[in-house]
Copies of this chain bind each other. A is one copy, B any other.
């Protein structure tokens, strides 16, 4: 196996201390590869990076209208959130609109990702619920879809097991993923995601193509195209909901609004849609590093592809090349996208 190129580096004491290899694809809505690094044909689990694709049926089905979901709630349906109080409250509100509560969620429970939220719960002697799970908004979206599909039946009965591949809700979700990526999900590896829904192995080229479709609407059904546009707008108006305090997705979309839609996924995945350019981006860091590697890589890709003025450019550039400080606040090194991404010309496909 040929090794993928180095896409991100951590420096200390003037040398590279650690580095991250990976692959990335930039594809247009017609499916043509705009630029690529590494192996973009190997199927990879897209994990939470495709939540916006999994939320398309929530809107296209009419469930979002039926339950009068707000921008905040639609953004949360696309989120891997920090479990901050507003995230948990918003997930609870979505469930209440559909006539159920947190007991309908099948995502499991974990302590919030957000440090302050952990300490606040602990200080009150409380423990988290499924509402604090980073996927609770996506699951609340599945439940809202299911409550529409269940009409005339017992909702709780219908919803049970909605995380399973064969459940009517998950079939809708998987069909949307397949339509957007154009990849045969019946013939690829299937894993179980952290929140218990299926996750499918899909090549970066197909994932980037799906996000070019999200960016433009081209290649999607009319219903999914409208849904993608509405979800992008919702996240741009409520970027706190898609991630949370200090998080990359929130910071980028607070700054750039609808010029970028981006979403991180576990194990070093990032997907993004660039509507002005009509391009989709998909990144996988080989070693699964989500916390640092794919963030600087995404920032470098955005800096290359998006014409950014003044403050916006400085903002994005700073996210591709960060100071690393130690516990005494002393600068000890830098974390940055590799030179090949920052300065080089994009290699031909």
Contact = CB atoms under 8 A, between A and B. Distances in A.
Contacts of A122: 118-120, 122-123
A21 B45 contact: no
Given A13-B45, A13-B191, A288-B18, A327 B133 contact: yes
Q: What size tier do the contact residues of chain A reach?
A: 35 or more
B289 A330 contact: no
Given A12-B191, A13-B45, A18 B267 contact: yes
A38 to B, nearest CB: 12
Given A3-B21, A191-B12, A107 B201 contact: no
Given A18-B286, A19-B287, A118-B122, A195 B326 contact: yes
A114 interface: no
A277 to B, nearest CB: 29
Interface in A72-113: 106-111
B118 A13 contact: no
Interface string A308-332: 0000000000000000001111101
A165 to B, nearest CB: 12
Nearest to A111: B115
A10 B288 contact: yes
B20 A44 contact: no
B17 A267 contact: yes
Question: What is the copy number of this chain in the assembly?
Answer: 2
A327 B189 contact: no
A327 B287 contact: no
Most B Cβ at <10 Å: residue of A119, A189, A196, A328: A328
Most B Cβ at <10 Å: residue of A45, A119, A285, A327: A327
A289 B289 contact: yes
Nearest to A200: B13
B332 A15 contact: no
Contacts of A327: 107-110, 133, 194-196
Interface string A190-213: 111111100101000000000000
Given A18-B286, A118-B118, A326-B193, A201 B13 contact: yes
Nearest to A289: B287
Contacts of A326: 108, 192-196
